[in-house]
Amino acid sequence: MSEHPATTGKEATTCAIIGAGPAGMVLGLLLARAGVEVTVLEKHGDFLRDFRGDTVHPSTLRLLDELGLGEQFAALPQSKLEEIAFPDGDEGLVVVGDLRRLNVRHPYIAITPQWDLLNLLAEAAEKEPTFTLRRNTEVTGLIEQNGVVEGVRYRERQGGTGELRADLTVACDGRWSIARRQAGLRPKELPVPIDAWWFKLPQHEGEESASLTPTARDGRFAIVIPRSGYYQIAYIAKKGIDASLRARGIEHFREEVAAVRPELADRVDRLGSMDDVKHLDVRVNRLNRWHTEGLLCIGDAAHAMSPIGGVGINLAVQDAVATATVLAAPLRKGEVTSSRLAKVRRRRLLPTIAVQALQQLLHKGVAEPIVEGRRTGPPKPVIKLMRRFPKLSFIPAYLIGIGLRPEHAPAFARRVS
């Protein structure tokens, strides 16, 4: 890995990747293993961001094995989720996705802080001589010449600015992608009935870990994710109420949380003010075109996902694997064309649409009735069906855990751990 001091100047690489999230880090690692000169620019100095996706699905676990990183990943602090269940209103829980039914080596979702996964990927990538990660480096714009993207402009935390020229720029800068906006690519927004509010509360010593099962009550629901020593909690309610929730103040919010998760009533006063509660404006959207000449968008930059099902990281990772598989050889030969960029979208469109359609279904059939106070779980006929034919829970488990057209590590990226 090469370290860059605060410089001002013009530099060049083969592939510039904007953003070191799951998409950017996996793409950087794979391209570097293919011998492609690659630079990842990340505006933050580290990966320690609260309230990001933490769910690593069977498809990503398999990929980590193929990359020779499975053992290192297994050594990270994590909990395992084997089923996706909803409260059914009266009889307890109904399992809608049973991951144990999947015929894979890791039939579960690993819940691991995203920064641990990203650090692991960064360490692996930094072993490759053609890989550079530039932290504290924010991309401020694209370099364009006659409609062709030729790299990026950046600003470093220490104040230096510069340009990085690249044969290909890949936007992995998430759902508010600056590169996408500057390239004039606009995603189509799909309707979403919910928003999420994230916060932390302490976990008492010896306390049994809460499960990831959502609990619902009177128009809101909550999901409690166990972490080391604390819980990360998502409070989910109707879209568009953030301003009124904040106006009503922290005392009201504490009462809301205690009502939906009574076991947390003894500690909700640890929320000092509404500043401790982070609003997530839930979006589901998708670009129609994922590229312009010289630029490709993948991951959340191409398609923001709802947190329902925790699929965002995994789709972003799959996009990155597809991108490396399709583009590594053309990048090495200097032959990246628009039609090759379009191939990435063609390969990833169906899996993306399928997951977004499932999320839309869950929004409409489960989340919306809950936040409107009409129900506290899935529709009764679905509950009955799942109870009668539990094998059906294989279908959502497959769509969420593996997805359509799962990607495998290309031969050039495989290692034995």
Which residues contact ligand FAD (rule: CB under 6 A)?
18-24, 41-44, 51-55, 138-139, 172-174, 178, 198, 280, 299-301, 305, 307, 310-314, 316
Cα separation, 345 vs 348, whole angstroms: 5
Which residue's entry shows tokens 């191409």? 302
Closest separation in Å from C-beta 124 to ligand FAD: 16
Cα distances (angstroms) measured from residue 149 to each of 175, 179, 298, 398, 417: 20, 10, 16, 38, 38
Cα separation, 182 vs 50, whole angstroms: 28
**Amino acid letter for position 315:** L
Closest separation in Å from C-beta 298 to ligand FAD: 7
Nearer to ligand FAD, 199 or 253 (CB): 199
Q: Is 46 in contact with 114 (CB distance < 8 Å)?
A: no
Closest separation in Å from C-beta 189 to ligand FAD: 16
Nearer to ligand FAD, 18 or 383 (CB): 18
Cα distances (angstroms) measured from residue 407 to each of 60, 103, 300, 324: 9, 16, 17, 11
Residue 53: which of 310, 358, 359, 403 has the closest Cα?
310
Q: Is 80 helix (H, G, I), strand (E, B) or coil?
A: strand
Closest separation in Å from C-beta 65 to ligand FAD: 19
Residue 328: which of 34, 76, 33 has the closest Cα?
34
Pairing of strands 109-111, 55-56: antiparallel
Closest separation in Å from C-beta 70 to ligand FAD: 19
Nearer to ligand FAD, 172 or 383 (CB): 172
Find the largest Cα–Cα distance for the chain: 66
Closest separation in Å from C-beta 384 to ligand FAD: 29
Closest separation in Å from C-beta 152 to ligand FAD: 8
Nearer to ligand FAD, 52 or 348 (CB): 52
Nearer to ligand FAD, 169 or 292 (CB): 169
Nearer to ligand FAD, 305 or 331 (CB): 305
Closest separation in Å from C-beta 320 to ligand FAD: 8
Nearer to ligand FAD, 283 or 340 (CB): 283
Nearer to ligand FAD, 94 or 308 (CB): 308
Q: Is 308 in contact with 283 (CB distance < 8 Å)?
A: no
DSSP state of 208: P
Which residue's entry shows tokens 């793409």? 27
Nearer to ligand FAD, 59 or 392 (CB): 59
Q: Is 5 in contact with 157 (CB distance < 8 Å)?
A: no
Closest separation in Å from C-beta 332 to ligand FAD: 24
The residues, ordered by sequence, that sit 6+ positions from 367 with a Cβ below 8 Å of its Cβ are 193, 194, 221, 236, 308
Cα separation, 19 vs 213, whole angstroms: 32
